Structure 1
Amino acid sequence: MLTFDPTIRPSAELVLMSPWLKFKGTPKSTPLSRDFVVRLSGFRAFSKLKKVALTALAQQLPDEKIDSLQKTFRALDQNGDGTLSVEEVREAIVQEGLKPPKALEDILQAIDCNGSGSLDYTEFLAAMLDQKVYMQRDVCWAAFRIFDLDGDGKITREELAKVLNGDSVQELFGARKIEKMIEEVDKDGDGAVDFEEFCAMMSSKASEAPNKRQKVS
């Protein structure tokens, strides 16, 4: 594995087939929660900003808060490549005696934020996090501070764009997308998201929640 020349270095898949690693590292079968499919489907209905916030938060949570999800991911990742394919997820659902939704591929595509065609560990965590975990005040505040770069208690368009696009030359999230993400959550219409608006977003179940500036029929 430490061989410098990649042409003669064993691939990750080959290494994972090693009897020693199989003995030491094969995860025990972990049953899926009964609401596994519901959580996957529910993530698709979240606002874009909430999806982004959960994905960012998933990278910050300590292991003790996500231990069961770590075990579930490892059990689902049958070939050990660090990602979950549609086939792996479908097979796991069937093995648990559950019925895979017809739109499973579309659901996973909505969770696949980076467009890789499969779910990586962080994307999986974001979709499966229990609301009881991320709605704890300190956890929600930690997620908010990821985007509130100057610490003034508001997430502006500029801050959101900087966090999402980083130093990339090519903007993954254009100005209009950023503006729309803010508008979905900005209830008082000041052009930014404060902590209370952020918490309201995190507690919501769907992206269709009306904005105060919108007419509600």
Structure 2
Amino acid sequence: MATKDTILNKIQILITNNFDSPEAAYNFFDKDGDGKLKKREIVELLKKAEISGFIRGIVSSKLIEGYDSSGDELIDWEEFKSAVNKIKET
């Protein structure tokens, strides 16, 4: 199974190589444009980051659990930005 660092690294590579900014990545994956990433949208981000289909559901739940500071089980822009900044630190 992929380690946390491997997963975070793949997400960072996806954002860096395919988008002009983290905000552009966020807007791309926010398919319905409501300003919140739902679990299925996070799963799509993980798919694009080449995270194994076997663990995408688990990883998306853990990402929400770890970065959802508002407790609404969604990731808003500020929470996403915080997650990206933490990824950059690793």
Counterpart-to-counterpart distance in 2, 1:194 and 1:140: 13
Residue aligning to 1:23: none
- Alpha carbons of structure 1 residues 61 and 163: separation in structure 2 relative to 1, 3 Å: closer
Counterpart-to-counterpart distance in 1, 2:42 and 2:28: 9
Are 2:42 and 1:140 equivalent residues in the alignment? Answer: no
Larger-Rg structure: 1
- Alpha carbons of structure 1 residues 183 and 51: separation in structure 2 relative to 1, 3 Å: farther
- TM-score by length of structure 1 reads 0.32
Shift of 1:146: 3.1
Q: Which protein has the bigger helix share? A: 2
- Alpha carbons of structure 1 residues 51 and 150: separation in structure 2 relative to 1, 3 Å: farther
Counterpart-to-counterpart distance in 2, 1:200 and 1:171: 25
Q: Which runs of 4+ in 1 moved over 3 A?
A: 50-53
Instruction: Say whether the 8 Å CA contact 1:186–1:197 is kept in structure 2.
Output: yes
Shift of 1:141: 0.8
- Alpha carbons of structure 1 residues 176 and 61: separation in structure 2 relative to 1, 3 Å: closer
Aligned with 2:17 (options 32, 37, 59): 59
- TM-score by length of structure 2 reads 0.67
- Structure 1: gaps of 5 or more residues: 1-43, 63-138, 207-217
Instruction: Say whether the 8 Å CA contact 2:36–2:76 is kept in structure 1.
Output: yes
Aligned with 1:201 (options 79, 83, 86): 83
Shift of 1:52: 4.3
Residue aligning to 2:74: 192
Counterpart-to-counterpart distance in 1, 2:9 and 2:32: 22
Counterpart-to-counterpart distance in 1, 2:68 and 2:10: 16
Counterpart-to-counterpart distance in 1, 2:10 and 2:66: 13
- Structure 2: gaps of 5 or more residues: none
Shift of 1:165: 3.3
Q: CA RMSD in A?
A: 2.7
Counterpart of 2:83 in structure 1: which amino acid? Answer: M
Identity of aligned residues (%): 26
Query: Relative CO higher for 1 or 2, CA cutoff 8 Å, sep ≥ 6?
Result: 2
Residue aligning to 1:182: 64
Are 2:37 and 1:151 equivalent residues in the alignment? Answer: no
